[in-house]
A and B are shown apart, each in its own frame.
Chain A
Amino acid sequence: MLRYTLRRFLGAWPTLLILMTMAFFMMRAAPGGPFDTEKTLAPEIQANLDKKYHLDEPLIKQYGRYLYDLAQGDFGPSFQYKDYSVNELIATGFPVSLRLGGTAIILAFFIGSLLGTIAALRQNTATDYTVMATAMTGISIPNFVLAPLLILLFAVNLQWLPAGGWNDGAFKNTILPIIALTLPYVAYISRLMRSSMIEVLRSNPIRTARAKGLPEHTVILRHAMKPALLPVISFLGPATAGIITGSVVIEQIFGIPGLGRYFVQGALNRDYTLVMGVVVFYGVLIILFNIIVDVVYALLDPKVRY
C-alpha cells in the first residue's frame, strides 16, 4: 500500500513539471508585458523594472530561476498589488475559497449518494423519475446561470438572503454561493450513484446476502454501499477540479474575496505572476487530490492490485 502511494506520488511529477513549464512559456510568449501602460516609460525605468523582475535575462535562465523559486514555495511578487507577494495573496484568498469549495464537495458527496441510492432502490417509480429529472435539470443549468437566478429569487424578490458580499464568512452570506456551487455536482453524483447501485444490487454477492435472510437495510448499508460508491469516489477527483473552476465564477458573481476572484482580476489586469501562481497552486492541489482519491479507491476496491 505504501509503495503504491509512493509510486502515485512519483508519477505526479511529470504532470507537475509540464504544468509549470507550459504555464511559464505561455506567460512569456504572451504579447504585451505586465508593465505596458498607456504612456511609455522612460527606457531607464523600463530597464530597472526589467532588471528587478529579471526580465532582462535569457529565457532559459528565467525558467530555471522560476522553477527554483517554485521548488521553495515562492511564487514571487505580484505585479499589480505592488506591496504583496503572490504567496500573501494566496494566503488571504485561499481559506475563503477552501471553505466554499470544501463545504460544496462534502455536501455534494453526501446528498448526491443519498439521492442516488434512493432512486436506485425505487427504480422506475415516481420517486426515481423525480430525482432523475431534477438531476438532469441540475446538470443542464450551469452554475453561472443558477447563481443569478438564485440571487434574483432569494435576494431581490424574497429578500431572505444577502445578494452578495462575504461579511467575514457570516453563515447567511455563504448559503447562496454554496448552493450554486453544489447543485450541479449533487446532480452528477446522484446519477452516477443510481446507475452503479442498480448494477451492484443485481450482483451475486447481494443475492447471497438476501438469500441469507439479512434485513434489507443491512444488505444496502453493509454490502451494497461500498462497491456502489466506487465510481462516485473516482469521480471526486474531476469533481474537485470542477468545483475549483466553478468557484472562480461564483466568487465573481457574489463578490467573495476568494482566490478565484483574485484569479479573474489578475487575468483581466495581466498580473502574470498572480495568475501563474494561482494556476500552479490549484494545479498542485488538484493533482494531490487526485492521488488521494486514487489511494482511497485502491483501499476500497479489492480488485485493484498494488
Chain B
Amino acid sequence: MTAQDINALQSLNSKAEIKGRSLWSDAMQRLMMNKAAITSLVILIIITLMVIIAPAFSPFEFDEIDWDLILTPPNIENRHIFGTDAIGRDLFVRTLYGGRISLMIGVIATLVSLLIGISYGATAGYLGGKTDAVMMRIVDILYAMPFMFFVILLMVFFGRNIYLIFIAIGAINWLDMARIVRGQTLSLKRKEFVEAAVACGVSTPRIILRHIVPNLLGIVVVYVTLTIPQVILVESFLSFLGLGVQEPDTSWGALVNEGAQDMEIAPWALLFPAGFLATTLFCFNFIGDGLRDALDPKDR
C-alpha cells in the first residue's frame, strides 16, 4: 500500500464522519424555512416574556382600583397605556396578568391531557388484542359526549375553582391524544428495536416507557402546539360566560367579557385583551402547522 493510498483512505474516512441527517435536523431545517412559523415563535416568546416580566415594571397593581379614572382611554401621560376598566383598574397590567393565567392554564391543562393520553394510548396500542379493543371502545363512548356542557356543569355545581378548570379541560383533551398515540404505537411495536428489547427480556412497562414513548415525540410535539390554543380557548369561553376565573383574578376571556359590556364607550377595553388573545392563538396555530409540515412534508 503506497502512502498515496493511505492518504486517500484517510480522507475517505474523514468524509465518512460527516454528520448524517436525522429526522429532527431535517425537520428543524424545514421549520427554519417557514417564515410564518418562525415569526409566530418570536412573537409568542415576546408575549410570554411580557406576560411574565412586564407587570413588575408597571406602577399599578392588577387589582388596584382608582375611582377617579374610570374607563379612561389609553394615555401615556398618566401611565395607563392601555387605558382603564370600568372600576379604574389599569388595563395594561390586567391584560398581561390575565395572559399569565390564560397561558398557564393552556400549558398545564395540556400537560395533564398529555400525561393521560400518552400513557393510555401507548398502553392500548402496545398491549393490543382485547385490552386494546375495550380501552378504545371506552374512548369512543366518551368521545361522543358533549363535554363542553359537562365542564359548564362542573363549574356551576362545584364552584369556579382554577384547579377544577385544569382537571376538567385536561380530562377532555386526552381523548384525541390517546387515539393519535395508539395509532402511532401500533406501527412502532412492529419495529426491530422493540423486538430486540423483547428478546432481551425487558419488561412491558419498561418497553413502553423507554422505547415506545420517546419515539412518539414528533407527533406529540405537533399535537401539543395545537392543543394549547384549544385549551386557552375553552378557558376563555368559560371565563367569558362568567364561569371561569373569578375576580379580582382575570384571564383574557374574562377581560373580553368585561370589555364587551362597555365597548360602545370604551372600545379599548375590548380591543387590547381580544388582540392579545387572538394573536396568541394565531401564533400557536401557525407554529403547530409549521411543525406538522416540517415533520411530515407531504402537503407542501
A-to-B contact residues, CB < 8 Å: 12, 14-15, 18-19, 22-23, 26-27, 29-31, 136-137, 139-142, 144-145, 147-149, 151-152, 156, 195, 198-199, 241, 244-245, 248-249, 252-253, 263-264, 267-268, 270, 275, 278-279, 282-283, 286-287, 290
Contacts and interface: CB of A to CB of B under 8 A. Distances in A.
A244 B260 CA distance: 22
Interface size class of B (residues with CB under 8 A): 35 or more
A244 B146 contact: yes
20 contacts: A18-B142, A26-B150, A31-B157, A139-B281, A139-B285, A141-B278, A142-B233, A142-B278, A142-B281, A144-B236, A144-B256, A195-B299, A241-B146, A245-B149, A253-B260, A268-B156, A279-B146, A279-B150, A282-B146, A283-B145
Interface of B: 141-142, 144-146, 148-150, 152-159, 229, 233, 236-237, 240-243, 253, 256-257, 259-260, 263-264, 267, 270, 274, 277-279, 281-282, 285-286, 289, 298-299
Contact of B270 (A14, A27, A137, A152): A152
A152 B146 contact: no
Contact of A19 (B145, B242, B277): B145
Contacts of A14: 141
Contacts of B141: 14-15, 18
Nearest to B232: A142
B144 A279 contact: no
A258 B33 CA distance: 48
B158 to A, nearest CB: 7
B236 A279 contact: no
Contact of A27 (B157, B257, B279, B285): B157
B71 to A, nearest CB: 15
B37 to A, nearest CB: 12
Q: Is the interface of B mostly helix, strand, loop or mixed?
A: helix
B263 A279 contact: no
B144 A268 contact: no
A268 B241 CA distance: 10
Given A152-B267, A275-B156, A144 B237 contact: yes
B241 A145 contact: no
Given A23-B150, A268-B242, A275-B153, 15 more contacts: A19-B145, A19-B146, A22-B150, A30-B157, A31-B157, A139-B285, A140-B229, A142-B278, A145-B277, A148-B260, A149-B274, A152-B267, A241-B148, A245-B148, A263-B149
Nearest to B274: A145
A244 B148 CA distance: 10
Contacts of B256: 144-145, 148
B285 A15 contact: no
Contacts of B240: 144, 249
